[in-house]
A and B are shown apart, each in its own frame.
Chain A
Amino acid sequence: MLQNNDVEIISVERLKPTSLEPAPTEKIEVPMIEIRQLTKTFGSFQALKSIDLTIPKGTVFGFVGPNGAGKSTTMSILATLMFPTSGTAKVDGLDVTKYPNEVRKRIGYMPDFFGVYDQFKTVEYLHFYGASYGIPKSEREQLIPQLLELVNLSDKKDAYVDTLSRGMKQRLCLARCLVHDPELLILDEPASGLDPRARIEMREILRELKAMGKTIIISSHILPELAEMVDEIGVIEHGQMIAIGNVADIQNRLRVKRFLHIRLLGREDEAEHFLRDRPLVNRLLRDERGIQIHFGGQDAEQAALLNELVAAGFQLVSFSEAQTNLEDVFLEITKGGDGFE
Chain B
Amino acid sequence: MREQTSVKQSSTSWRNKLINPVLNKEFKLRMRTPKAMWTLFFYLFAIGLMAFSAIYIVEINTGGSRSFNPEQSKVLFYFLSFAQLGLIAFMAPGLTAGVISGEREKQTLNLLLTTQQSSATIVLSKLVSSLGFMVLIVVSTIPVYSMVFLYGGISPKQLILVFLFYLFVMLVLGSFGILFSSMFKRTMVSVIVSYGVTLFIFGGTALIYVVLMSTTDRFYTYNANTYSWIGHVLAWNPAGALYSILDPEFTDQAYRIYGQPIATNKQPLALWKEFMMIYTCLSILALWLGIRSLRPRMKKN
List residues of chain A with CB under 8 Å of any chain B CB. Answer: 41, 79-83, 85, 97, 100-101, 104-105, 107, 109, 111, 113-117, 119-120, 124, 128-129, 131-136, 139, 142-143, 146-147, 150, 173, 176, 180-181, 208, 212
Contact = CB atoms under 8 A, between A and B. Distances in A.
A133 B111 contact: no
A115 to B, nearest CB: 4
Contacts of B297: 83
A147 B5 CA distance: 12
A117 B7 CA distance: 24
B14 to A, nearest CB: 16
Contacts of B25: 117, 120, 128
Q: In the A-B complex, list the 7 residue pairs whose CB atoms are closest, starting with the nearest.
A: A131-B21, A132-B115, A115-B106, A115-B107, A119-B32, A115-B108, A181-B5
Given A116-B108, A131-B24, A180-B7, A143 B2 contact: yes
A114 B110 contact: yes
Contacts of A117: 25, 29, 108
A134 B110 contact: no
B60 interface: no
A177 to B, nearest CB: 9
Interface in B287-301: 295-301
B29 A135 contact: no
Nearest to B30: A119
B36 to A, nearest CB: 11
Interface string B109-125: 01111111100000000
Contact of B110 (A41, A111, A139): A111
A135 B29 CA distance: 21
Contacts, number: 98
B264 interface: no
B11 A109 contact: no
Contact of B22 (A41, A100, A132, A133): A132
Contacts of B107: 111, 113-115
B224 interface: no
Contact of A82 (B4, B10, B112, B296): B296
A115 B32 CA distance: 18
Nearest to B121: A132
A79 B295 CA distance: 12
Contacts of B295: 100
A134 B24 contact: no
A104 B116 contact: yes
Nearest to A213: B4
B125 to A, nearest CB: 11
B301 A85 contact: yes
B7 A134 contact: yes
Given A114-B108, A134-B7, A142-B2, A107 B33 contact: no
Interface in B36-58: none
A133 B110 contact: no
Q: Which of A82, A83, A111, A132 has the most CB of B within 10 A?
A: A132
A181 B111 contact: no
A133 B5 contact: no
B266 interface: no
Contacts of A82: 296
A113 B108 CA distance: 9
5 contacts: A83-B299, A129-B111, A131-B21, A143-B5, A146-B2
B265 interface: no
B8 interface: yes
Contact of A83 (B10, B33, B113, B296): B296
Contacts of A136: 8, 11
Contacts of A150: 1
A130 to B, nearest CB: 8
A116 B109 CA distance: 10
Nearest to A43: B301
A120 B108 CA distance: 13
Nearest to A82: B296
Nearest to B109: A115
A80 B111 CA distance: 11
B155 interface: no
Contacts of B301: 41, 85
Contact of A129 (B29, B106, B115): B115
Given A83-B298, A111-B110, A114-B110, A132 B7 contact: no
Interface in B10-27: 10-11, 21-22, 24-25
A143 B2 CA distance: 7
Contacts of A132: 21-22, 112, 115-117
A135 B16 CA distance: 12
Contacts of B298: 83, 97
B116 A139 contact: no
A72 to B, nearest CB: 11
Given A119-B33, A134-B9, A139-B8, A81 B114 contact: yes
A81 B28 CA distance: 27
Contacts of B300: 85
B301 to A, nearest CB: 5
A155 to B, nearest CB: 19
Given A131-B24, A142-B2, A146-B1, A176 B111 contact: yes
A107 B111 contact: no
Contacts of A143: 2, 5
B21 A128 contact: yes
Nearest to B106: A115
Nearest to B10: A134
B113 A181 contact: no
Contacts of A180: 5, 7
Nearest to A107: B114
B7 A181 contact: yes
Contacts of A105: 7, 116
Contacts of A139: 5, 8
